[in-house]
Amino acid sequence: MDKKLLFIDCDPGIDDAAALLLAAAAPEAEIIGVSAVAGNVPLEHTLPNALALTAFTHLDAVPVYAGATRPLIGEVLTAAYVHGMDGLRGHTLPPHTRTACPEPAWTALHRAAAAYPGRVTLVAVGPLTSVATAFSLHPDLPGLLKQVVIMGGAAAVPGNASPAAEFNFLADPEAAEAVLRSGARLALCPLDATEKAYLTPEELETMAVLGSPQARFFAQVMGETVPWCRDNYGIHGATLHDPAALLYALHPELFTGKACWAGVETEAQLTRGKLFTDAFSDAKKDPNCTLLYDVDRPAFARTILDLMACY
């Protein structure tokens, strides 16, 4: 069976790290590129974290590219309060000798998609600045990609970066809106789905005792978010936002979604970055994405534990 070709744009970030651990473990996936974008923490941390994570997950042959340092418009927004100043909550990874490739993320993404027309799935789990830049510089890119799976937005649930907006979309609303208007084949994995995509403390403990350094790292960094998730999402576990998007790219059957129209507010002050959709409304517009809103959580958890047992 042909492997699924994945290009992962991320802002590691602890849940980005978890997504990379899972992607690297998945036998059905071939990671053809990783790009870092400013988001959870500045690029000066997300890029080194991406390099260290590819070394840690035996992806030493996978090229890593630097993307955008700041949003298309507006001020830089970070989430160090969740991910720590270094992006990995102070957890160190083994030393390595990897360096980033010289070409920027948007050039590399276009080259990869053109090399494998219709076969590359872009998994975008940070602010969409680099993706929007790539689409702007290369108008043929949306049509070259098999699919773009995006972790972002909050449709019918409150935001996590403002009352209205999820972090990735608030960090660069113009980029998110541009990608939603791009004509690419989009799957949107918003908080509506990812808040249901969690591991319980017992499942995290099961992962920790798998014994590999990678499984222990995953369980440790995500386990530290359990109190935050309890206080902010009211769930007894660790929500896995970016792994949910990655898992959809590999196992869409775990999720429930619907074709709908989606857009992002860029003008208003209070609702800037808010994801609007007709998925739950009678006022329908032409669909531009598949919006995910539910997950088979036990199967999601089993799949994650099975993948992490591969290390």
Show contacts with Ca ion in window 227-246 (CB under 5 A): 242
> Taking CB positions, which residue lies at the least distance from ligand RIB?
167
Does residue 64 interact with ligand RIB by CB under 6 A?
no
Known catalytic residue at 58: no
Does residue 17 interact with Ca ion by CB under 5 A?
no
Does residue 126 interact with Ca ion by CB under 5 A?
yes
Choosing from 39, 63, 71, 104, the residue that interacts with ligand RIB (CB under 6 A) is: 39
Does residue 16 interact with Ca ion by CB under 5 A?
yes
Pick the stretch among 102-110, 140-148, 163-171, 217-225 that binds ligand RIB (CB under 6 A).
163-171
Number of residues that bind ligand RIB (CB under 6 A): 16
Q: Is 137 helix (H, G, I), strand (E, B) or coil?
A: helix
Choosing from 5, 18, 23, 79, the residue that interacts with ligand RIB (CB under 6 A) is: 79
Give the burial string for 22-55 (b: 16+ CB within 10 Å, else e).
bbbbbeebbbbbbbbbbbbbbbebbbbbbbbbbb
Does residue 173 interact with ligand RIB by CB under 6 A?
no
The owner of tokens 């709908």 is 260
Q: How far apart are CA 288 and CA 308, in angstroms?
A: 34
C-alpha pair distances (Å), 5 with each of 67, 238, 240: 20, 28, 22
Cβ-based neighbour number of residue 305 at 10 Å: 16
104 contact, one of ligand RIB, Ca ion, none, CB 5-8 Å limit per kind? none
Best CA proximity match to 67, nearest among 31, 30, 42, 92: 42
Best CA proximity match to 124, nearest among 147, 157, 158: 147
167 contact, one of Ca ion, ligand RIB, none, CB 5-8 Å limit per kind? ligand RIB
Half-sphere exposure of 282 (CA within 13 A, CB side): 0
Does residue 241 interact with ligand RIB by CB under 6 A?
yes
Ramachandran area for residue 87 (φ above 0: left; ψ -120 to 50: alpha; else beta): left
144 versus 194: smaller Cβ distance to ligand RIB: 194
Q: How far apart are CA 193 and CA 255, in angstroms?
A: 8
CB 118 → Ca ion: shortest distance, Å? 26
Pick the stretch among 12-20, 48-56, 214-222, 266-274 that binds ligand RIB (CB under 6 A).
12-20
Q: How far apart are CA 74 and CA 177, in angstroms?
A: 14
Structure tokens of 157? Answer: 């649930």
Q: Is 168 helix (H, G, I), strand (E, B) or coil?
A: helix
Find the catalytic residue in 45, 83, 110, 241.
Answer: 241
Choosing from 129, 168, 182, 271, the residue that interacts with ligand RIB (CB under 6 A) is: 168
C-alpha pair distances (Å), 224 with each of 39, 91, 219, 235: 20, 11, 8, 14
Does residue 125 interact with Ca ion by CB under 5 A?
yes
Report the catalytic residues: 241
Where do contacts with ligand RIB occur on this chain (CB under 6 A)?
11, 13, 15-16, 39-40, 79, 125-126, 151, 160, 166-168, 241-242
Residues in contact with Ca ion by CB under 5 A are 11, 13, 16, 125-126, 242
